[in-house]
Amino acid sequence: MKSIAKKIELTPPQILVIGFAAIILLGATLLSLPISSASGQPTLFIDALFTATSATCVTGLVVVDTGSHYSMFGQIVIISLIQVGGLGFMTMSTLFAFVLRKRISLKERLILQEAMNQGSMEGIVRLIRRVLVYSLTIEFVAAVIFSIRWSFDLGIAKGIYFGIFHAISFFNNAGFDLFGSVIAPFTSLTTYADDWIVNIVSMGLIILGGIGFVVMSDVVDYKKHKRLSLHSKVVLSATGLLIMVGAIVIFIFEFTNQKTLGSLNWSGKILASFFQSVSPRTAGANSVDIGAMRQASQFFIIILMFIGASPGSTGGGIKTTTFTTLIGAMIAMIRGKEDIVLFHYRLGKDRILKAITLTMIALFLVIFVTMLLTTTENQSFLKLLFEVTSAFGTVGLTMGVTPDLSFFGKIMISLTMFAGRLGPLTLAYALGPKAEKELYRYPEGKITIG
């Protein structure tokens, strides 16, 4: 019996994969029920599965409009999946353990370590406690501001409901919205392109949700320690630089495009440029029509979506730290340096190899799925590449492809969202054989590169 138990013992990555899959299936079942639909008719299971995957993987891609298709019950199911998926089901289960004063076991700490992408278990429970406090506090403050703002447009009751829903959705970088029920399906925040309150609060939520809880905790403790970790410095620098560069590029390319920025005043142009630069951090909301943007802007957004958010956050992508490591490696090689140095710290070779591995797996996944979809979907290559990258980066931006996906297309995009949320390496560790320690090393060989 002991040998059988040992054989079926699951590793932390496997538990994460199974846990997320179970939540998605439960969500899909609930969303397919007649009570979840605004019309009272059952939703096709494939559409419910796609929506549940998108919500749990905090992506935002939808085949049916959330605000107009789903009833309040269905919308509550979706926002619950977003909260659980964004913070992680293990984080939510830890919350219940705190409430019930239950001790966190060693196995649970190992899973939390894997879920939060941490190098060790030291302080993991304290970090989870902070994650819960920060998340609920930020969502509450944003919900109050949103509720007050939208109460003027929608009435007090609907304004409060919209405020709570969108605060949770945007902080978890999900991008789901309800404005299809009051404006038109799939409109997102296009009506509020020049609204300072909606834009600033939304961008604040997206950025805070995307920098990662470790960085957030580090910033809060700055007054006490008077220093930031290397990880926090890299994340904050890369995030700020990508947002600034993204806003400038989008502003330049779209300035004269009457279908996007061209019709807005100067403040609206600046706001919309920054919002479209922040949103590819894996948020998925948009204040201008993405499908109407110039191809140069669309391709640039694909790059931003592929990079994504930061480790230990609610976002996806290869992460800002991976991108920074690759850029550092390129600069070091060009300069003839042996080490990658960031903020006077040398990066270990294991970090560099992990960054290269993660990027290559992600690149192969995006290319492979895009190639498959070009044979099954009647869409242009750029639109499909945009859709797949959005799914992998758990972004949720689309050029209008999602509602027209075939059955096969919905399955492939769902699997891509799943892989993007868990991370290619976590998925590889979960599905691959258990690593064994090498007993010997081969002699070093040399090949010509370049």
Task: Please report the pLDDT score of residue 6 as a whole number.
Answer: 44
Q: Counting Cβ atoms within 10 Å, is residue 95 exposed (0-12), middle (13-18) or buried (19+)? A: middle
Task: Please report the pLDDT score of residue 122 as a whole number.
Answer: 60
Q: Show the DSSP H helices in 119-265 as ranges.
A: 124-154, 156-171, 196-211, 213-220, 222-225, 230-254
CA diameter of the chain: 73
Length of the chain: 450
Task: Please report the pLDDT score of residue 3 as a whole number.
Answer: 40
- Rounded to whole angstroms, the Cα distance separating 10 from 24 reads 19
Residues 6+ apart with CB under 8 A from 40: 34
Per the CB < 8 A criterion, the answer to whether 173 and 206 are in contact is yes
Residues 6+ apart with CB under 8 A from 187: 177, 179, 180
pLDDT tens digits for the chain (450 residues)? 334 334 457 776 777 788 889 999 999 999 999 999 999 999 999 999 999 999 998 888 999 999 999 999 999 999 999 988 887 655 655 554 555 555 655 555 665 555 555 555 566 667 777 778 888 899 999 999 999 999 999 999 999 999 999 999 999 888 899 998 888 888 888 889 889 999 999 999 999 988 888 888 888 888 777 888 888 999 999 999 999 999 999 999 999 999 999 888 999 999 999 999 999 977 888 889 999 999 999 999 999 999 998 887 777 889 999 999 999 999 998 888 888 888 888 988 888 898 998 999 999 999 999 999 999 999 999 999 999 999 999 898 999 899 999 999 999 999 999 988 887 766 666 666 565 666 777 787 777 666
Task: Please report the pLDDT score of residue 95 as a whole number.
Answer: 53
Pairing between strand 341-342 and 345-346?
A: antiparallel
**SS3 assignment for 432-450:** CCCCCCCCCCCCCCCCCCC
Per the CB < 8 A criterion, the answer to whether 163 and 144 are in contact is yes
Per the CB < 8 A criterion, the answer to whether 369 and 354 are in contact is no
Angle, CA 362 vertex, CA 357 and CA 366 arms, to 5°: 150
Q: Model's pTM, two decimal places? A: 0.88
C-beta neighbour count of 264 within 10 angstroms: 20
Angle, CA 331 vertex, CA 330 and CA 334 arms, to 5°: 85
- 284: helix, coil or strand? coil
Task: Please report the pLDDT score of residue 160 as a whole number.
Answer: 95
